[in-house]
């Protein structure tokens, strides 16, 4: 392994187990290193700090594999990491009537730059860094041996730097992939299109929020904004909802939402699907609901455009707050990395103060068990969600 010396004043985050090392933290990086090259991080006195892989000469130069000095990066390394990842999910996720989850969550599973989503018997892999992409064969072999999937599909977005557009790679890597995969989540069924669906096909990160929502939906009239393929909708019907309105700009997603409702044995005559921009719908919508879900895409994609994104969050949350009945529930989410949990809460405080209602927090969520994040790794956190209850004044 290539030794890389970390500057004395920069070893703090590495000792604190932060998994990224920036180029400025390194004394010197020899020329000719290829992305993926295993490296040994040492301090200025030569003391071992961590192992990692070299990724680029700028920004995040090294991503850390681990803290065992003699750990070799070979086929067994990937099998060990994937076995450990699988065992966490088997223990805490599969026992909930669930066969689909994030199997590998990058840094949270000590495999930085790699994401693997499991959909029933199939896997979708995403290589996010050039360095991890270099190990693709070993990763695929390890996944086959440890998980034994019927097929593996790739939907990579490989970043060279944070500012550049990623290189996209997609296609079947192993076996045959059905057009739609039937998955089970908390005992409910969904069809997932891993080829054309958004992200890797399904928003696995909302599983626990969907489950939490179910208990608020007995006899409820529900508005599911940014509904995608009806995740929250199916849980609402399972909880006894009287009606659900799905709103999304994607016609394909809305179509699949109807299929998902049928798949679970629920009627679709009390399901309305509206293909529309939620912001447009809210311009002149006055129907009242017992429960509303707001799960928009990241409105703040870039720190420089934060103000615009904040305006969007404020607008949809104010409108949703106004459309709730007394005692109604608002599930409001943000997956913008640039909007922290506290800041999101303050935004909701500001918005709520402009309405005629009082709101209290019933539940707060971030990511679920299958999206683990190392303790110091704030960069790995993006999702936050509040369940608010409304009281009309």
Ligand X SMILES: C[S@@+](CC[C@H](N)C(=O)[O-])C[C@H]1O[C@@H](n2cnc3c(N)ncnc32)[C@H](O)[C@@H]1O
* Catalytic residue check, 335: yes
> Quick check: 30 binds ligand X (CB under 6 A)?
no
Q: Which stretch binds ligand X (CB under 6 A): 93-101, 290-298, 351-359, 385-393?
A: 290-298
> Quick check: 248 binds ligand X (CB under 6 A)?
yes
Per-residue contact flags (x/-) with ligand X for residues 228 to 247, judged by CB under 6 A = xx-xx--------------x
> Quick check: 186 binds ligand X (CB under 6 A)?
no
Closest to 227 measured CA to CA, from 147, 291, 322, 134:
291
> Quick check: 277 binds ligand X (CB under 6 A)?
yes
338 Rama sector, left if φ>0, alpha if ψ -120 to 50, beta otherwise: alpha
Nearer to ligand X, 133 or 248 (CB): 248
Q: Which stretch binds ligand X (CB under 6 A): 104-112, 295-303, 319-327, 375-383?
A: 295-303
Nearer to ligand X, 41 or 278 (CB): 278
Residues 178-192: b if buried by 16+ CB within 10 A, e if exposed: bebbbbebbebebbb
**Minimum distance from CB of 349 to ligand X (Å)?**
23
Question: With contact defined as beta carbons under 8 Å apart, do 31 and 2 qualify?
Answer: no
Closest to 291 measured CA to CA, from 326, 334, 335, 256:
326
- Answer for which of 38, 295, 338, 344 binds ligand X (CB under 6 A) is 295
Task: Count residues binding ligand X (CB under 6 A).
Answer: 20
DSSP string, 304-372: GGHHHHHHHHHHHHHHHHHTEEEEEEEEEEE--TTS-HHHHHHHHHHHHHTSSEEEEEEEEE---TTS-
Distance CA 69, CA 39 (A): 11
Residue of this chain nearest to ligand X (CB atom):
231
Nearest-10 Cα torsion for 127, 128, 131, 134: 20
- Answer for which of 243, 250, 270, 357 binds ligand X (CB under 6 A) is 250
- Answer for which of 226, 289, 344, 387 binds ligand X (CB under 6 A) is 226
Which residue of the set 333, 335, 385, 390 is catalytic?
335
Q: Return the active site residues.
A: 335
Interface contacts to ligand X, rule CB under 6 A:
198, 203, 206, 210, 226, 228-229, 231-232, 247-250, 253, 277-279, 295-297
């Amino acid at each position: 392994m290539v030794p890389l010396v970390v500057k004395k004043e920069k070893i703090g985050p590495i000792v604190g187990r932060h998994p990224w090392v920036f180029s400025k933290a390194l004394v010197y990086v020899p020329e000719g290193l290829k992305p993926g090259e295993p490296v040994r991080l040492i301090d200025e006195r030569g003391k071992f700090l961590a192992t990692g892989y070299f990724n680029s000469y700028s920004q995040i130069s090294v991503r850390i594999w681990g803290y065992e000095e003699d750990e070799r990066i070979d086929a067994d390394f990937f099998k060990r990491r994937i076995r450990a990842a699988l065992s966490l999910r088997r223990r805490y996720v599969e026992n909930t009537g669930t066969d689909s989850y994030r199997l590998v969550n990058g840094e949270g599973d000590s495999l930085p730059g790699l994401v693997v989503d499991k959909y029933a018997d199939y896997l979708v892999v995403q290589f996010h860094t050039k360095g991890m992409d270099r190990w693709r064969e070993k990763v695929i072999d390890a996944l086959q041996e440890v998980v034994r999937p019927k097929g593996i599909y790739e939907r990579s977005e490989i970043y060279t730097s944070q500012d550049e557009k990623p290189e996209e790679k997609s296609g079947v890597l192993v076996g045959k992939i059905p057009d739609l995969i039937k998955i089970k989540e908390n005992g409910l069924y969904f069809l997932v299109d891993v080829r054309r669906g958004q992200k890797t096909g399904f928003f696995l990160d909302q599983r626990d929020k969907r489950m939490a929502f179910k208990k608020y939906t007995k006899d409820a009239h529900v508005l599911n904004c940014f509904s995608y393929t009806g995740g929250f909708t199916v849980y609402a019907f399972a909880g006894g909802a009287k009606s659900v309105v799905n709103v999304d700009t994607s016609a394909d997603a809305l179509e699949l939402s109807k299929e998902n409702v049928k798949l679970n044995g629920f009627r679709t005559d009390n399901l309305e699907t509206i293909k529309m921009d939620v912001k447009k719908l809210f311009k002149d919508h006055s129907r009242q609901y017992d429960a509303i879900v707001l799960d928009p895409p990241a409105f703040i994609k870039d720190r420089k455009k934060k103000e615009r994104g904040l305006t969007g969050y404020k607008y949809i949350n104010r409108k949703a707050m106004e459309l709730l009945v007394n005692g109604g529930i608002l599930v409001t989410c943000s997956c913008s990395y640039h909007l922290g949990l506290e800041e999101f809460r303050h935004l909701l405080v500001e918005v709520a103060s402009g309405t005629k209602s009082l709101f209290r927090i019933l539940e707060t969520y971030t990511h679920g068990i299958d999206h683990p994040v190392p303790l110091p790794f704030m960069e790995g956190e993006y999702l936050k969600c509040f369940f608010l209850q409304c009281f009309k004044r």
